[in-house]
Amino acid sequence: MKVLALSGGVGGARLLDGLYELSPSMTAVVNTGDDFVHCGLSVCPDLDTVMYTLSGLADETRGWGLKDETFGALEQIRAFGGPDWFALGDRDLATHLLRTDAMRRGESLSAVTSRLCGALGITARIVPMSDEPCPTLVDTVGEGTLSFQHWLVRRRGEPEVQAIRFEHRPPPAPGLLRAIEGADVVIIGPSNPYVSIDPILRLEGVRQALQEKVVVAVSPIVGGRAIKGPLATMIPQLAGVPASADAIARHYGSLLSGMVVEHGDSVTGLPVLATETIMKSRNERVALAQRVLAFAAERLR
Ligand code: FO1
């Protein structure tokens, strides 16, 4: 079965790790709305979290960056009074240096992503949602419009969100729409719909391509709470309803063929699989991925 996943954030990368174990030649379409230039370097957090997770190099505790990391460069940036609010690790810097250099020489984000992932032995196809910048903007109450990382990291996601906005609508990355058309099932990971999945869905042609497909989403909300990140407060702020798996299903609307939720959570109006969705180990990631793919395959019939 040809599997394609839409992913962003830490939760999305964890399910992706399980899907990758079962389908090593799968395609992952990854959010680039979190990307920004920091100290002159092109930083692509969601692409890097996927690359590090699938290659086994990710720091599972921190949820981003590399394990066995040191922060000597960051300490020296701090000593100079430079911007230390975004922690770039010494080994992580290698990714940003090589990617920034390659893109400055004209290599596309897709090409450099494929090259770096290949160098780490990743056999899945990791596709940025677009090769052009598409920064996510956060309109806040009281602090105006902030860039995504400024809101999430520098301000710890505290300013109340009025709207999530995008100033550009670049073309999808080359081959992205064809990859969706060629997939048997599309899995949306347990990611934040507003800032990790919507940036992908709003690109030209993506929703249309998905209409023909079996699309199954895994709820990022369990028992009214988010496992990680600011989603549980964003839902009431943006949708005016309490955080729930059902609010996630409503957000995606007719796009979904089915939804996977945690035992005890419920969703109305579409086929639901209630199961263990909290992934505390790699085995649990693979086990959940197995259940998600079986549930998606049933929708194919
Ligand atoms: N998140 C933080 O909360 N604090 C950081 O200092 C931080 C640094 C960082 C460096 C590289 C990278 O790829 C990700 C980093 N993140 C950090 C996580 C990042 O903000 C989020 O993973 C995504 O943007 C949201 O999924």
94-145 pLDDT, tens per residue? Answer: 999 999 999 999 999 999 999 999 999 999 999 999 999 999 999 999 999 9
Q: Give, to the nearest 10 degrees, the angle between helix 245-252 and helix 231-239.
A: 60
> Measured in angstroms, how far is the CA atom of residue 45 from the centroid of ligand 1?
6
DSSP class of residue 66?
B
> Measured in angstroms, how far is the CA atom of residue 270 from the centroid of ligand 1?
34
> Measured in angstroms, how far is the CA atom of residue 297 from the centroid of ligand 1?
34
pLDDT, tens only, 246-269:
999 999 999 999 999 999 999 999
Q: Which pair of tokens denotes residue 229?
A: 């990140």
User: Contact, 3 vs 19, CB < 8 A?
Assistant: yes
User: Contact, 153 vs 145, CB < 8 A?
Assistant: no
Would the pTM count as exceeding 0.85? yes
Q: Which residue bears the tokens 């839902």?
A: 235
pLDDT for 39: 98
Q: For residue 80, what are the β-bridge partners?
A: none
DSSP class of residue 255?
G
> Average pLDDT, whole number, for the chain?
97
How far is it, in rounded angstroms, from Cα 48 to Cα 13?
Answer: 10
pLDDT for 76: 98
Residue 233 has pLDDT above 90, yes or no: yes
pLDDT for 148: 98
- Identify the helix (H) or strand (E) that includes residue 214: strand 214-218
Q: Which pair of tokens denotes residue 95?
A: 């990714």
pLDDT grade for 301, boundaries at 50, 70 and 90: confident
Residues contacting 301, CB < 8 A, separation 6+ = none
How far is it, in rounded angstroms, from Cα 221 to Cα 234?
Answer: 12
pLDDT grade for 3, boundaries at 50, 70 and 90: very high
pLDDT for 276: 96
CA 281 vs CA 34, 61, 63, 163, 269: distances in Å: 26, 11, 13, 34, 32
DSSP class of residue 170?
P
Q: Which pair of tokens denotes residue 291?
A: 């259940």
DSSP class of residue 25?
T
> Where would I find the H helices in 55-190?
72-79, 92-104, 109-119, 148-149, 176-182
Residue 228 has pLDDT above 90, yes or no: no
Q: Which residue bears the tokens 């959940």?
A: 288
pLDDT, tens only, 154-169:
999 999 999 999 989 9
pLDDT, tens only, 211-226:
999 999 999 999 999 9
pLDDT, tens only, 42-97:
999 999 999 999 999 999 999 999 999 999 999 999 999 999 999 999 999 999 99
Atom of ligand 1 nearest to the CA of 149: 20
Atom of ligand 1 nearest to the CA of 92: 11
How far is it, in rounded angstroms, from Cα 218 to Cα 187?
Answer: 8
Residue 278 has pLDDT above 90, yes or no: yes
pLDDT for 161: 97
How far is it, in rounded angstroms, from Cα 50 to Cα 94?
Answer: 16
* Ligand 1 site, CB within 6 A: 9-10, 34, 43, 45-46, 48-49, 64-65, 86-88, 92, 149, 152-153
CB-neighbour burial class of residue 109 (10 A; exposed 0-12, middle 13-18, buried 19+): buried
